[in-house]
Amino acid sequence: MLTIHHLVIGRSVFTVWLLEELGIEYQLEPYHRLETRRAPPELREVHPLGKSPVIVDEGRTIAESGAIATYLLETYDPEHRLSPPPSDRDRWVQFIQWLHYPEGSAFAPLSLVLLSASTPEPMPQLVRDFASGEVTLHLDFIEAALQGHDYILGNEFSAADIGLGYIVALAARLKLLETRAVLTDYLSRLQQRPAFQRAHERSGG
């Protein structure tokens, strides 16, 4: 059976959510953060980077949220319920961009805001200005892309909403959505999905 190594609280609950959307059986190995908020050293025995999520399936250890999503869709969704096939060209081109967007573009400026909030010394003004400008640009971009439909590829949910949901949830946690109804509504639409709720119940967040 597939195993997911899950760090409470963090990115990996979104991979648990994908497993729940796919409806496959899995075993969840939970890890808890140290007092410093860092991941515990046991995770390095699973993968040398000591990160989460990591899955183990059919003897293969796989890291990187985007790669895990690609693997799970290729292996457990041959009917393409959660992602368009390459032959559905326009939607597929959108899908691969949204699959890479969370880590490729949106996470870096948000992580600067997260780091600023977690250090007692202030970040340099230049970095704060850069982060705040980039975060605004990204939240505007996501909001514009969601305008007029419920999910990022249109009116149907896809696996691209899971990675994007992570970014929007992180922005919510950093209290960046207070004037952004489109993003707040999108997040609550995602959170109402039964698979999302099962993932949170089973993983502890």
Binding residues for a second copy, rule: CB under 8 A, are: 48-51, 60, 62-67, 70-71, 74, 86, 89-90, 93, 96-97, 99-101, 103-105, 107-108, 111, 115, 118-127, 130, 137-138, 140-141, 144
Nearer to a second copy, 123 or 202 (CB): 123
In the chain, the largest separation of any two C-alpha atoms, in whole Å, equals 51
Nearer to a second copy, 124 or 194 (CB): 124
Nearer to a second copy, 30 or 50 (CB): 50
Nearer to a second copy, 101 or 186 (CB): 101
- Minimum distance between the CB of residue 124 and a second copy, rounded to whole angstroms? 4
- Minimum distance between the CB of residue 141 and a second copy, rounded to whole angstroms? 5
Of residues 167, 175, 163, the one with CA closest to residue 117: 175
- Minimum distance between the CB of residue 188 and a second copy, rounded to whole angstroms? 25
Cβ–Cβ under 8 Å, residues 40 and 34: yes
State the DSSP string of 160-189. HHHHHHHHHHHHHHTT--TT-HHHHHHHHH
Residue 24 token pair: 């496959």
Locate all alpha helices (DSSP H) within the chain, ordered by sequence: 13-22, 43-46, 65-76, 89-101, 107-118, 125-146, 160-173, 181-191, 194-203
- Minimum distance between the CB of residue 194 and a second copy, rounded to whole angstroms? 28
Of residues 103, 85, 89, the one with CA closest to residue 162: 103
- Minimum distance between the CB of residue 116 and a second copy, rounded to whole angstroms? 9
Nearer to a second copy, 119 or 192 (CB): 119
Residue 29 token pair: 């190995």
Burial of 27 (0-12, 13-18, 19+ CB in 10 A): exposed
